[in-house]
């Protein structure tokens, strides 16, 4: 998550405070052998940067530490998958992982010097530090996989590759990402510590040790700063690559009466979670309750104001060259551009698809998981039979009806009646409960929506 613009001055002020305190402490001590000032450390770093020796040491240590981390990633995934498939493997690996986590780094380094040369020591130590952390993270992700989705995949005989992409990766990646964040920091700290003990020529650890024995405190602080920067930089790059290679997800926000009062705050908060498509749907009242009777119920007037405030924030981003996908606005833009919308609510008719419940029951829509619309069980009815059955045809026919009030509405061509779940009654005598909200929104936003559609068409 990126820091907000408001937090940047506060962070800079905090950094300035600690730098000033460091400078004051160095001046109070008055002996650079014990504590150099930040200005002296910076001067030393500036002198190191142009030298070939500096970049050679950075490349040497980075390559080996990241190599150990990469080995840890690969082995942790393979071992966690094996533990998932075999209880015996799980029982055999658990004490090993506990042992690796509990053993001090220094003990590992001294023992490893018996087995490997000093030049390869940081690879082994980084690998050992990353392995239990990432193994535990992958195991946690595997355990969080949706059992019902896995059962559905088994019933539908979905190929292993698609199961991996659609079920396992979304479950494992969040935990694996956090594990990588922790493991990368551990790899850098333990890898450099191994170099300080093993003293391989041309490494950062060797430079730290030489600075220590020659009492070059400025170099000691400069190299420490380099290690911190390298660790932070590689963490950011790796996590960005992991996010880019991850499974595409969208964020669904249910709009309640309370939440609708802060549309722009909600929008900005969701954006901080990453570059995900956003979806906003009004909170539904229970089917057997009157509309608007619950504390969380969303009144049409409040929903209309929410959509207008949300649109203002979205449009500002669009004008600044930042397109944020909001499903409702995306559909309106597609309609204005002459393209079909992506949702049945904006298409003017119910779509043809199936919802599979945990017990295998089939329904024509996730808003109509009702006994009246039960299409059978996935265990006894094929997908073709469920989609082409009489109940499915009746559902689609009813979904093509539109309230009579829609015929005279100036916004019918873009609104198309909305979702059937929001109708007050089925057939011409009904209407969309949120019709006032959509009228308010189109009165307010349609001219800018048209401009946005033209801009996007010509990009």
**How far is it, in rounded angstroms, from Cα 122 to Cα 139?**
26
* Cβ partners under 8 Å of residue 62, min gap 6: 230, 234
Give the phi and the psi of residue 431 in degrees, each rounded to 5.
Answer: -165, 165
Tell me if residue 366 is catalytic.
yes
CA separation (Å) from 82 to 77, 78, 86, 153?
A: 9, 6, 6, 20
* Cβ partners under 8 Å of residue 139, min gap 6: 80, 83, 84
Q: CB of 400 within 8 A of CB of 350? A: yes
β-bridge partners, 326: 278
**How far is it, in rounded angstroms, from Cα 126 to Cα 192?**
9
HSE-CB at 225 with a 13 A cutoff on CA atoms is 17
**How far is it, in rounded angstroms, from Cα 38 to Cα 32?**
11
Which one from 366, 371, 372, 443 is the annotated catalytic residue? 366
**Nearest partner of 349 among 397, 393, 400, judged by Cα:** 400
Q: Is 278 helix (H, G, I), strand (E, B) or coil?
A: strand
| Helix 300-319 / helix 327-336 crossing angle, nearest 10 deg | 70
Residues designated catalytic: 366
């Amino acid at each position: 998550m990126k820091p907000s613009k408001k937090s940047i001055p506060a962070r800079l002020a905090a950094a300035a405070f600690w730098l000033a305190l460091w400078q004051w402490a160095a001046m109070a001590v008055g002996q650079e052998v014990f504590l150099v000032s930040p200005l002296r450390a910076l001067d030393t770093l500036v002198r190191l940067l142009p030298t070939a020796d500096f970049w050679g040491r950075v490349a040497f240590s980075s390559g080996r530490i990241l190599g150990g981390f990469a080995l840890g990633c690969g082995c942790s995934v393979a071992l966690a998958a094996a533990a998932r498939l075999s209880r015996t493997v799980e029982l055999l690996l658990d004490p090993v992982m506990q042992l690796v986590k509990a053993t001090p780094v220094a003990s590992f380094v001294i023992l490893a010097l018996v087995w490997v040369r000093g030049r390869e020591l940081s690879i082994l130590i980084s690998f050992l530090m990353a392995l239990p952390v990432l193994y535990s993270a992958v195991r946690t992700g595997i355990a969080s996989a949706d059992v019902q989705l896995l059962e559905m995949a088994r019933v539908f005989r979905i190929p292993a590759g698609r199961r991996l992409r659609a079920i396992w990766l979304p479950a494992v990646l969040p935990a694996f990402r956090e594990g990588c964040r922790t493991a990368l920091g551990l790899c850098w700290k333990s890898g450099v510590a191994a170099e300080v003990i093993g003293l391989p020529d041309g490494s950062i650890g060797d430079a730290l040790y030489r600075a220590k024995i020659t009492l070059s405190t400025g170099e000691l602080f400069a190299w420490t700063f380099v290690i911190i920067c390298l660790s932070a930089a590689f963490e950011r790059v790796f996590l960005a690559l992991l996010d880019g290679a991850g499974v595409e997800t969208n964020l669904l926000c249910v709009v309640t009466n309370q939440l609708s009062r802060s549309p722009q705050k909600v929008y900005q908060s969701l954006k901080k979670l990453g570059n995900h498509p956003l979806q906003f749907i009004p909170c539904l009242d229970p089917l057997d309750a009157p509309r608007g009777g619950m504390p969380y119920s969303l009144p049409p007037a409040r929903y209309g104001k929410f959509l207008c405030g949300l649109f203002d924030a979205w449009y500002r981003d669009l004008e600044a060259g930042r397109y944020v996908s909001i499903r409702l606005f995306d559909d309106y833009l597609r309609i204005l551009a002459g393209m079909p919308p992506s949702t049945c609510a904006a298409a003017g008719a119910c779509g043809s698809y199936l919802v599979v419940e945990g017990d295998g029951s089939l329904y024509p829509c996730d808003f109509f998981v009702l006994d009246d619309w039960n299409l059978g069980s996935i265990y006894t009815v094929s997908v073709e039979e469920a989609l082409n059955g009489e109940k499915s045809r009746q559902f689609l026919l009813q979904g093509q009806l539109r309230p009579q009030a829609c015929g005279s509405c100036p916004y019918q061509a873009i609104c198309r009646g909305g979702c059937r779940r929001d109708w007050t009654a089925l057939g011409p005598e009904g209407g969309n409960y949120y019709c006032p909200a959509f009228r308010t929104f189109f009165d307010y936003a349609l001219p800018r929506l048209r401009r946005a559609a033209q801009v996007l068409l010509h990009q």
